[in-house]
Amino acid sequence: MDQSTVVQTLAVSVLGIAVAAVARRRGWPTPLLLVLAGLVLSPIFPEYELDPDLVLLVFLPPLLYSAAVDSSYLRLKDFRRPIGLLSIGLVLFTTLVVGWITHLLLPELPSAAAFALGAIVAPPDAVAAVAVARRLGLPRKTVTILVGESLFNDATALTAYRVAVAAALGGGITWLEVTVDFARSAVGGVLMGLGLAWILARVLIRLRDPLIENTVMLLAPFAVYLAAESVHVSGVIVVVIVGLYIGHRLPRAGFGTRLLSEAVWRVLGFFLETIVFALIGLQFWPIMRGLEWADPWKLAGMALVVFAAVVVTRVVWLVPGIYLPRILSAKIRESEPHAPTWKQVAVVSWAGMRGVVSLAAAFAIPQTLRGRDLLLFLTFSVVIGTLLVQGLTFPALIRRLKVSNEREIYTDNLAEAAAQQAATSASLARLDELVGEGVDEVYREVVDQLRARAERRTLTAWERLGSGTGPQGEETPSTVYRRLRREMLVVEREVFVRLRDERRIDDEVLRRVLHEIDFEEAILERD
């Protein structure tokens, strides 16, 4: 990387952060504003062409890992059928439909290249959709399905893309080889991900140093992704499996590890997403420069047809894909008693924004492939079209349909209050065990303070429901307080984790209460 590229990258980063800061202050959709800013600034950076290795090796692993750690393994497991329907079924269906339509539009283009375009534009990037969904309070099931789709669909799309490009370059690949390659990539990715996740978890347990643990976790997505790709299995799946495994076990780590991890990944995620969306808009000029020979009206027509195919294909697949299996299978109706409403299906159908992975795959097309410039343009058109058309109208759709998570919020608060009461009872019982019978007056005052502190947390949890029903070394009073309160917090944390594992509270509730407990433990550590 030469000095001018470094300067341009720094300039893009600074401008992207400035735009993101304005968007966050004004409450505007940050990803969309960054894309628009990139489009405006594209003539200023005419040579800034996206490096696919930068996206696939530097940006993609940490973004996937961060999203996986922040996801709920249990909820993803509950919704594995609709997530598989989207991340595998819809991706392959979109690849075939868009490839077929592109072949009809451009018969001179190799058919394998047309299907490569289908694979490139098949996987949605749910970053923008999930950001809007959470801000406007979509139901948790809808958000989980969108997150799960974005975690796993890249693996399906990139595998199909590699096969199509190899065929377009004259690789002579058979359907049997395609099936074997896909199975090896997916199954091998799952097995390797589980193995690496188990090893990483054992390493983190033995480190017992928040700074070192988070440094290891920061390097983990890059290491496991490269390890997976070196043995020709899906690096995307491996990173996601490792992230889900570590995220599920993170509540059992030390409070310092969690507090530092949350801060590190929030900053890193914000920084990478800012650059990624700015880079999307910046590709306008380099892509159009390669099509100076083409008829602009013909280009616009082809772009519109491919964009419409991508949008319509999602709806065509999703509606029968959700309801038909329920009609045909009593087992599905039994395991999923509550069918999605038409409003939820409409929201998921419109949340198909494409992102930087599609552009990176397009730029990775070999220069020798006939029609590369045209494929780049069509990919860019789909990415920009979905981000602007669907992205700008997505909030209005949610408000229009009046889809909300108000009932879930009440249920979460009720579950949190009940869990907090159980945790407080357990911690007070532990306090009684530690204190015993005969204590002096100073010791009793400390115990009373601890008891009041624990009971106050329970009252606060109940008050969220509007009920109005409503804390160690040398044995000085302050050290006694810290020692006993730490023991109480350990028991409270164990209760919350157990209730999560028993499915009595959700991961979001667990993260919320652990955040409060971690801060209290951090304060005790500093006192």
User: Measured between alpha carbons, how far is 11 from 14 in angstroms, rounded to an integer?
Assistant: 5
Q: What is the pLDDT of residue 475?
A: 52
Closest CA to 313 of 92, 93, 87: 93
Q: How far apart are CA 179 and CA 173, in angstroms?
A: 10
What's the confidence (pLDDT) of residue 169? 78
Q: Which residues contact 378 (CB under 8 A, 6 or more apart)?
A: 102, 117, 121, 302, 303, 306
Angle at 380 between CA 379 and CA 385, to 5 degrees: 100
**Which of 381, 309, 391, 404 has the alpha carbon at shortest distance from 351?**
391
What is the pLDDT at residue 217? 94
Map 436-504 to HEC letters. CCCCCHHHHHHHHHHHHHHHHHHHHHHHCCCCCCCCCCCCCHHHHHHHHHHHHHHHHHHHHHHHHHCCC
Distance in angstroms (rounded) separating the CA atoms of residues 279 and 287: 12
Which helix H or strand E contains 226, and what residues bound it? helix 210-230
Say what angle helices 296-328 and 372-385 make with each other, to 10 degrees.
Answer: 60
Q: If you ran DSSP here, which 8-state letter would residue 44 be given?
A: G
pLDDT of residue 230: 93
Amino acid at the residue 270: F
Give the residue from 494, 487, 403, 493 showing the smallest Cα distance to 450.
Answer: 487
Distance CA 426, CA 412 (A): 21
Mean pLDDT (10-residue bins), the chain, 527 residues: 71 90 86 90 82 88 90 89 92 95 91 92 80 74 88 88 82 69 86 96 90 94 95 92 93 86 89 89 86 80 95 93 85 80 90 89 87 91 92 88 75 76 85 70 74 72 51 51 81 90 88 86 70
Q: Which two tokens stand for residue 295?
A: 């008829």
Which residues neighbour 169 within 8 Å (Cβ) at sequence distance 6 or greater?
Answer: 366, 368, 369
DSSP labels, 293-353: TS-HHHHHHHHHHHHHHHHHHHHHHHHHHHHHHHHH-HHHHHH--SPPPHHHHHHHHH---
How far is Cα 418 from Cα 207, in angstroms, rounded to an integer? 34
**Domain at 3-404: CATH architecture:** Up-down Bundle (1.20)
Give span(s): CATH 1.20.1530.20, the chain. Answer: 3-404
Q: What are phi and psi of 304, to 5 degrees?
A: -65, -40
Cα distance between residue 512 and residue 118, in whole Å: 41
pLDDT at 467: 42
Residues 6+ apart with CB under 8 A from 7: none
Q: Report the pLDDT value the prediction gives residue 465, as an integer from 0 to 100.
A: 58
Residue pair 140/148 in contact (Cβ under 8 Å)? The answer is no
Residue whose structure tokens are 């200023």 = 44
